[in-house]
């Protein structure tokens, strides 16, 4: 099996933590998603950026007005994409972004038709929006580190786990939809 560890014969630890949701109610899925959002914002938008700024409080030499305008744009696009992605996860995928309550069905509609990771991309836009707004070198370093971590998690945890759960359906989806940069216009042809 492709996702087995070399010595254990089991899926890697981080992949074993992902469980398909058993929740049937869309309202309950939305409630869980909103709780996930509250935790995400408290940890990744308040606590960790504050710690990053405290550790490296150097200011970015860009005037506040353009930084703030760029930050608001990133935040608005990020939150809108995030809510849209949550809606598709809840209604079509029948799950939440939380790994212990993951979607039961492969989400391929809405923002997932243009980008394989729209929720994570939206979260990163929000983090980069905060980094732009605060104008702190520490928060910029934090945003870059979170972007690198997100990419690593997608490559080494999420994609292998989805491939093991959804098989050929996920492979076909990957062949037609890019990982990070949205696809607009004509659909990519399936890989041969």
Q: In this predicted model, what pLDDT tens digit does every residue of 77-104 receive, in sequence order?
A: 999 998 898 888 777 767 767 666 677 7
Domains and CATH numbers, the chain: 45-176 (1.20.120.1630)
pLDDT in tens, 15-51: 555 555 555 666 776 677 778 778 888 888 889 988 9
pLDDT class of 6 with cuts at 50, 70, 90: very low
pLDDT at 8 over 80: no
pTM for the model stands at 0.79
CA–CA distance, 191 with 173 (Å, rounded to integer): 10
**The pLDDT value given to residue 5:** 45
pLDDT at 11 over 60: no
Please, which residues bridge with residue 136 across strands? 59
* HEC string for 71-114: HHHHHHHHHHHHHHHHHHHHHHHCCCCCHHHECCCCCCCHHHHC
């Amino acid at each position: 099996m492709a996702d087995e560890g070399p010595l254990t014969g089991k899926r890697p630890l981080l992949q074993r933590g992902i469980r398909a949701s058993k929740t049937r109610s869309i309202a309950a899925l939305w409630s869980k998603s909103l709780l996930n959002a509250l935790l995400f914002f408290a940890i990744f938008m308040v606590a960790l950026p504050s710690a990053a700024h405290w550790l490296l409080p150097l200011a970015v030499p860009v005037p506040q007005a353009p930084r703030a305008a760029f930050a608001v744009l990133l935040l608005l696009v990020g939150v809108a994409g995030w809510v849209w992605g949550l809606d598709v996860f809840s209604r079509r995928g029948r799950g939440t972004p939380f790994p212990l309550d993951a979607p039961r069905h492969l989400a391929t509609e809405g923002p997932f038709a243009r980008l394989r990771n729209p929720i994570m991309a939206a979260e990163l836009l929000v983090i980069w929006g905060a980094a732009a707004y605060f104008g702190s070198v520490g928060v910029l370093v934090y945003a870059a580190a979170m972007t690198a971590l997100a990419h690593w998690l997608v490559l080494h945890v999420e994609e292998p786990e989805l491939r093991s759960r959804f098989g050929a359906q996920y492979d076909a989806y990957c062949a037609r939809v890019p990982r990070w940069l949205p696809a607009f216009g004509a659909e990519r042809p399936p890989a041969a």
